[in-house]
């Protein structure tokens, strides 16, 4: 079943701007992950944040997690045309091997 929901569904920004997308989920989680999917390709793992972490950075990516609000955000700073893709959050519910994915946010970076 789909647990995460991303917001917005689509985002269009100018190169160099920041892109922020949000994810809300319903049940308690072990960790939350963000993935990127280029058109027609498989998903690529970007970053994982555990339930006891509040913020994590990886290069131009910043992820926050608020377990009290059951929400997470992904910030891409100084966006590039190559960041054009769909971004998905996925939740690993506690003591479960399975990831539940949201419907994704489609990001378009204009040159």
Partner 1 sequence: SQTIHQWPATLVQPVGSPLSLECTVEGTSNPNLYWYRQAAGRGLQLLFYSVGIGQISSEVPQNLSASRPQDRQFILSSKKLLLSDSGFYLCAWSVQGAYGYTFGSGTRLTVV
Q: Where do contacts with partner 1 occur on this chain (CB under 8 A)?
A: 2, 30-31, 33, 35, 40-45, 48, 88, 90, 92, 96-104
Q: How far is the CB of 101 from partner 1 (least distance, A)?
A: 4
Residues 58-63: contacts with CB under 8 Å, at least 24 apart: 61/34, 63/32, 63/34
Q: At 95, phi and psi to the nearest 5?
A: 55, 40
Q: At 57, phi and psi to the nearest 5?
A: -125, 145
Residue 16 CA to residue 66 CA, distance in Å, equals 27
Nearer to partner 1, 44 or 78 (CB): 44
Q: How far is the CB of 69 from partner 1 (least distance, A)?
A: 21
The kind and range of the H/E element at 4 are none
Q: How far is the CB of 58 from partner 1 (least distance, A)?
A: 12
Nearer to partner 1, 19 or 23 (CB): 23
Q: How far is the CB of 16 from partner 1 (least distance, A)?
A: 27
Nearer to partner 1, 15 or 103 (CB): 103
Residue 34: half-sphere exposure toward Cβ, Cα within 13 Å: 27
Nearer to partner 1, 7 or 15 (CB): 7
């Amino acid at each position: 079943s789909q647990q995460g929901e991303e917001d917005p569904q689509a985002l269009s920004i100018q190169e160099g701007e920041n892109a922020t997308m949000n994810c809300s989920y319903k049940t308690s989680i072990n960790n939350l992950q963000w993935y990127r999917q280029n058109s027609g390709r498989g998903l690529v793992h970007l970053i994982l944040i555990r339930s006891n972490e509040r913020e994590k950075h990886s290069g131009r990516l910043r992820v926050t997690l608020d377990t009290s609000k059951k929400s997470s955000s992904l910030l891409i700073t100084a966006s590039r045309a190559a960041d054009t893709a769909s971004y998905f959050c996925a939740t690993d519910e506690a003591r479960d091997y399975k990831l539940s994915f949201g419907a994704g946010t489609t990001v378009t970076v204009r040159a």
